[in-house]
Amino acid sequence: MAKLIPTASTHLVLGGARSGKSGYAEQQAKQTQLDVVYVATAQALDDEMGARISQHQQDRPSHWQTIEAPLNIASTIRQHSHATSVVLVDCLTLWLMNVMHHELDLSDAVDELLIALNEAKGHVILVSNEISMGVVPMGELSRNYVDNLGRLHQRVAKQAEKVTLMVAGIPMAVKA
């Protein structure tokens, strides 16, 4: 079967923990019938995270190209976004945490990401946790993180052609 040649697009997939967002994003990537470049932002800083990463690796098709980019997703998108591929970034939540942990300029990092998405030559699917629907965190650092993630989601969603919210494994179209 011939591969579909898409126009460039950005799809943001949001959801809570274990909501099915990664599986849904992977399904969307497979359906394009294009080469998939999987951009992993997680770092195995403890055994539990290592086990999660390992499970995600086992769940993905072995022919997908995987790139570990805990900080540099904008340059990775620029390098790997082509009309014959789909770039799947999993996830913005951990990327933002990495940017903040390394005390990089958050505004510059987000601006660079948005520019890269705007310049993308193929499909880009971004996965992120929607964590702002609960109580306001007590600690300043946690509040700052939740606020920054909410602002990041707003900016990416505004630019994206499609936004999906996963609830209990069910995709809900927020922006189509």
**Cβ neighbours, 10 Å, residue 89:** 26
Which one is catalytic: 56, 63, 101, 102? Answer: 56
pLDDT at 168 over 50: yes
Instruction: Let me know if residue 7 belongs to a domain.
Output: no
**Residue 56 catalytic?**
yes
**Cβ neighbours, 10 Å, residue 94:** 19
CA distances from 85 to 35, 52, 69, 100, 117 (A): 5, 26, 18, 30, 14
Instruction: Let me know if residue 3 belongs to a domain.
Output: no
pLDDT at 50 over 80: no
pLDDT-derived band of residue 8, with 50, 70 and 90 as boundaries? confident
Cα separation, 24 vs 41, whole angstroms: 18
Which residues span the domain enclosing 119?
A: 21-144
* Chain segment 69-87, per-residue pLDDT in tens: 999 999 999 999 999 999 9
Instruction: Let me know if residue 167 belongs to a domain.
Output: no
pLDDT at 1 over 50: no
Instruction: Let me know if residue 74 belongs to a domain.
Output: yes
The overall average pLDDT reported for the chain is 92
pTM of the entire predicted model: 0.91
Instruction: Let me know if residue 120 belongs to a domain.
Output: yes
Instruction: Let me know if residue 155 belongs to a domain.
Output: no
pLDDT-derived band of residue 52, with 50, 70 and 90 as boundaries? confident
Residue with tokens 């579909």: 4
**Cβ neighbours, 10 Å, residue 167:** 14
pLDDT at residue 43 in the model: 80
40-44, 78-82, 112-116, 171-175 — which is least confidently predicted?
40-44
CATH of the domain at 133: 3.40.50.300
Instruction: Let me know if residue 150 belongs to a domain.
Output: no
**Cα torsion angle, 72, 52, 91, 98, sign:** negative
Q: What total number of domains does the chain contain?
A: 1
Residue with tokens 């990463």: 53
Instruction: Let me know if residue 51 belongs to a domain.
Output: yes
**Residue range 99-107: average pLDDT?**
96
